[in-house]
Structure 1
Amino acid sequence: MPIRDVHDIERLKKINEALISRVERSMDQQGNAFSLFQTAINLENRVRSRTEELRATLRRLEVSNVDLVAAKENAERANLSKTRFLAAASHDILQPLNAAHLTVSALAEVQTTEEGRKLVQQVERSLETMEELLRILLDISKLDAGVVQPEITDVALEPLFSSLKSDFQPLTDQKGLKLRFRSTNAVVRSDRTLLRRILQNIVSNAIRYTRAGGVLVGIRHRRSTVRIDVVDTGCGIPEDEYEAIFEEFHRAPQATEADLTGGGLGLGLSIVRRMASALGHPISFTSVVGRGTIFHLEVPAAKTAFVETPTAPVEERPRGYGLFDTKVLLIEDEPDVQNAMTVLLERWQCTVKSAASTTQALEALGDTAWIPDIVIADQHLEGGDLGSVTIAAVRDYLNRDVPALIVTGDTSEEVAEVAREAGVELMRKPLKPAQLRALLAHLLA
């Protein structure tokens, strides 16, 4: 075979191999492209699926958010409704409770045996526990609903401490404990009533869980605050109970029956936290089991200085109470309360005329041959009458400013403002007979 043919054959083989190689590469590329195409389609399907899932989730979240907003609004409305209900219910419940207080007080006056006096005291303690529980529940309801608006003023701590010491000294003496309030001229910015309730609950709790030693209340000055410390030598609080102590109806597990004697309801620290939160006063504590607890309340310091105003001593009256032959016009629409109050006043040697409305009160006065020395009126009377209006009508009828007292279960600030504007005294139901008697004697003096 000629050499030229041999070269041509070799060249053709190389060309053939090159063509075959190119075809194979082309087929591989097509295979890869097809594979990539399939992969892209799969990814697109998966992205579309995930997108639909995400959209569905977002739609569900939107619906859930709408439901949550609606549920929150419903809960807030329910909370406000609960507050209004408890306020109304407490007023209705306080009426018979007030009657019971007055009746028991009158009953105590006629007891001649030791057994009878003990039974009366037991009933009085039960009534006081009921009253305390009702008032605490109402306070908690108002605080949770956010309807309590603190009145921030300058509050001198020394008179507050003196008042608390006077309240708790008999209890600590009975338990054999020491009670000390360190003297101070500090003035803070707070709501006087709420601050007193906070300290009252903390001190009461400290005394309840202290079996030996005592309770000390003092202050520490900070840069812009005053820290009030309540120190006790009680049973202490275990670390795992630190949060639980602020829960409703919680009692220390290490407390004995003797510690709980006296009506501890387990609501004291719960309402303390709510009140402190409403005032913006940080509260904290440190405790060692078996050695005691220290509660700290941070209160803003006031800029003004405290100058104590001496108070005139209250003259102690003999058992006649200074009420002998006092003419009382009693305006009360609840028959049980009216009867109980009448019995009590007559036990104090008063002459009583009763009425349930403004019209009846003026009819009771008749031709003014009988002029009352004092008027006692419930604020909310039958037919929509108001005690403050009735008192004004009686004064106009008699043409004189007869001393007057409004008694009511209404705990709102509005009724207190009405009493101030009318220039009459105000007492909340249920009445404490001893306080009522002292106030009547004061008004008549």
Structure 2
Amino acid sequence: MGIDHINDIERLKKINAALISRVERSMDQQGNAFSLFQTAINLENTVRRRTEELRSTLRRLEQSNIDLVEAKEAAELANLSKTRFLAAASHDVLQPLNAAHLSISALAELQVGDEGRKLVRQVERSLETMEDLLRTLLDISKLDAGVVQPSVGAVSLDHLFSSLRSDFLPLAEQKGLDLRFRSTLASVRSDRSLLRRILQNILSNALRYTRSGGVLVGARRRGDVIRIDVADTGCGIPEDQREAVFEEFNRGSRAMGLSAGGLGLGLAIVRRMAGALGHSVDFTSVVGKGTVFHLEASLVSMAAAETQSAIVELERPPGYGLFGTKVLLIENDEPVLEAMCTLLERWRCTVRTAVDSAEAIEALNGGDWAPDIIIADQHLDQGDLGTETIADVRQLLGRVVPALIITADPSDEIARTAKARNIEMMRKPVKPAQLRALLAHLLA
């Protein structure tokens, strides 16, 4: 075989190898393209699947939001219904409770023996506990529902402290405790009634859980804020009870010796009332040494404080008697009517009664008898209202006879209507001593 022939063979081998290599590369490229095609299909399927999952999740989230809104609306409606129910229930329950208060007061004046007076006092204490519970539950319900509208103005702390001292000093002396108030000229921006209730509940707790030593109430200025402190030498509050003491029906831990009776609602309503007024409330405590509650409120000017002081002085009722007073009593609840008549007659008043507006007018049509004062329930027979009936009687008599609405209806609308018509108002159940003082004030 010649050299040329050998060279041709080698050249053919190289060409063949090059062709094979090219074919292999082409096949590899096709394989890679197919692989990329498969990968793209898989990715597209994955994206589609994830998109469907995301849409499904969004639909579930939207439905959850709708359910949450519906649940919130249902809860708000239930809360409003609860408030209305408690208001209505308290009105119905307070009616017989009011009659019981009045009857027990009249019964107490008939007792000549120690045993009888002791039993009467026990019944009175039970009625007072029931009244406190009902009123506090209603107050908490109204505060939670946001229907309480504070009447904010200048409140003199000195007058407030003086009133609280008068109320709590007998209890402190009975327990052998020292109760002191540091006088102050400061006034705060608050609702006098709600602020008094807050301090009253804190003081009541302080005296309840203090066995020796005493309680000190004072105020100090911090810039534009007044901090009211109520300090006691009681058993103190453990750190793990800081939030629990503000919960409903919490009466302290027996293990720490803190349980001392009561309803366990005092501090629960303190926090709610402070929140409604925009006041901050907190405390510091050392177990075994005592507790200091802090209440912060905005400072007001001296001019506003002097105006409030003048108003308080005008509101203090003088102590006049009721002998011979002619009373027109308008009440449609028979037990309350009988109890109130008995009580007024024990005070040597002359009483005429009616159950609605027509009877009230009829009682005066003879012209031989005119009342010195009118006492009326708000909700009477025939759908009559006490405020309207008083207006009718005044028109008949031609003069503005002193008048008092006594009602268990907790709505603020009645209070506004009574105030606009120059009518005093008391909430049921009525405390006889307060009723007698207010009647004497109106007659004076």
TM-score using structure 1 length: 0.93
Quick check: 1:409–1:429 contact (8 Å CA) kept in 2? yes
Q: Which residue of 2 aligns with 1:280?
A: 278
Give the distance between the partners of 2:365 and 2:123, measured in 1 at CA: 40
Q: Which residue of 2 aligns with 1:292?
A: 290
Give the distance between the partners of 1:405 and 1:123, measured in 2 at CA: 27
Give the distance between the partners of 2:442 and 2:374, measured in 1 at CA: 11
What are the residue-to-residue correspondences of 1:55-74 with 2, within 5 Å? 55-74=55-74
Q: Which residue of 1 aligns with 2:239?
A: 239
- Structure 1 ranges of 4+ moved more than 6 A: 255-258
Q: Which residue of 1 aligns with 2:228?
A: 228
Q: Which residue of 1 aligns with 2:182?
A: 182
Quick check: 2:209–2:258 contact (8 Å CA) kept in 1? no
Give the superposition deviation at 1:266: 0.9
The 3 A distance-change label for structure 1 pair 224 and 6 is farther
Matched, 1:413 2:419: no
Quick check: 2:226–2:299 contact (8 Å CA) kept in 1? yes
Give the distance between the partners of 2:253 and 2:140, measured in 1 at CA: 24
Give the superposition deviation at 1:121: 0.7
Give the superposition deviation at 1:103: 0.5
Give the distance between the partners of 1:239 and 1:115, measured in 2 at CA: 46
Q: Deviations over 1:283-334 (max 9, x none)?
A: 22222211222222221122344334484886656xxxx2233222111011
Give the distance between the partners of 2:258 and 2:371, measured in 1 at CA: 50
The 3 A distance-change label for structure 1 pair 367 and 231 is same
Quick check: 1:210–1:259 contact (8 Å CA) kept in 2? no
Give the superposition deviation at 1:257: 8.1
Give the superposition deviation at 1:120: 0.7
Q: Which residue of 2 aligns with 1:392?
A: 391
The 3 A distance-change label for structure 1 pair 175 and 283 is same
Q: Out of 127-136 and 75-84, give the one that drifted further.
A: 75-84
Give the superposition deviation at 1:358: 1.1
Give the superposition deviation at 1:255: 7.2
SS, match of residue 340 in structure 1 = helix
The 3 A distance-change label for structure 1 pair 325 and 54 is same
Give the superposition deviation at 1:442: 2.8
Between the two proteins, what is the percent identity of the paired residues?
A: 69
Q: Which residue of 1 aligns with 2:264?
A: 266
Q: Which residue of 1 aligns with 2:299?
A: 301
Give the distance between the partners of 1:189 and 1:28, measured in 2 at CA: 88
Q: Which residue of 2 aligns with 1:27?
A: 27
Q: Which residue of 2 aligns with 1:422?
A: 421
Quick check: 2:317–2:438 contact (8 Å CA) kept in 1? no
Quick check: 1:179–1:216 contact (8 Å CA) kept in 2? yes
The 3 A distance-change label for structure 1 pair 315 and 421 is closer
Quick check: 2:251–2:258 contact (8 Å CA) kept in 1? no
Quick check: 1:235–1:254 contact (8 Å CA) kept in 2? no
Matched, 1:354 2:387: no
The 3 A distance-change label for structure 1 pair 233 and 255 is farther
Q: Which residue of 1 aligns with 2:329?
A: 330
Q: Which residue of 1 aligns with 2:440?
A: 441
Give the superposition deviation at 1:223: 2.0
Give the superposition deviation at 1:2: 2.2
The 3 A distance-change label for structure 1 pair 62 and 43 is same
Quick check: 1:209–1:255 contact (8 Å CA) kept in 2? no
Q: Out of 113-122 and 292-301, give the one that drifted further.
A: 292-301
Question: How many pairs were matched up?
Answer: 439
Give the superposition deviation at 1:101: 0.3
SS, match of residue 283 in structure 2 = strand
Q: Deviations over 1:364-417 (max 9, x none)?
A: 224121222222111221112121222222222233333222211123332222
The 3 A distance-change label for structure 1 pair 22 and 96 is same
Q: Out of 329-338 and 29-38, give the one that drifted further.
A: 29-38
- Structure 2 letter corresponding to 1:155: V
Give the distance between the partners of 1:188 and 1:237, measured in 2 at CA: 28
Q: Which consecutive residues of structure 2, in runs of 5 or more, have no partner in the other structure? A: none
Give the distance between the partners of 1:224 and 1:12, measured in 2 at CA: 107
Q: Which consecutive residues of structure 1, in runs of 5 or more, have no partner in the other structure? A: none
SS, match of residue 150 in structure 1 = coil
Q: Which residue of 1 aligns with 2:364?
A: 365
Q: Which residue of 2 aligns with 1:383?
A: 382
The 3 A distance-change label for structure 1 pair 442 and 189 is closer
Give the distance between the partners of 1:236 and 1:185, measured in 2 at CA: 30
Q: Deviations over 1:45-74 (max 9, x none)?
A: 122111111111111111111111111112
- Structure 2 letter corresponding to 1:276: A
Quick check: 1:188–1:300 contact (8 Å CA) kept in 2? yes
Give the superposition deviation at 1:96: 0.6
TM-score using structure 2 length: 0.93
Quick check: 2:235–2:258 contact (8 Å CA) kept in 1? no
The 3 A distance-change label for structure 1 pair 255 and 434 is farther
What are the residue-to-residue correspondences of 1:45-60 with 2, within 5 Å? 45-60=45-60
Q: Which residue of 2 aligns with 1:252?
A: 252
SS, match of residue 250 in structure 2 = coil
Give the superposition deviation at 1:278: 1.5
Quick check: 2:317–2:440 contact (8 Å CA) kept in 1? no
Give the distance between the partners of 2:219 and 2:441, measured in 1 at CA: 35
Q: Which residue of 2 aligns with 1:196?
A: 196
What are the residue-to-residue correspondences of 1:128-143 with 2, within 5 Å? 128-143=128-143
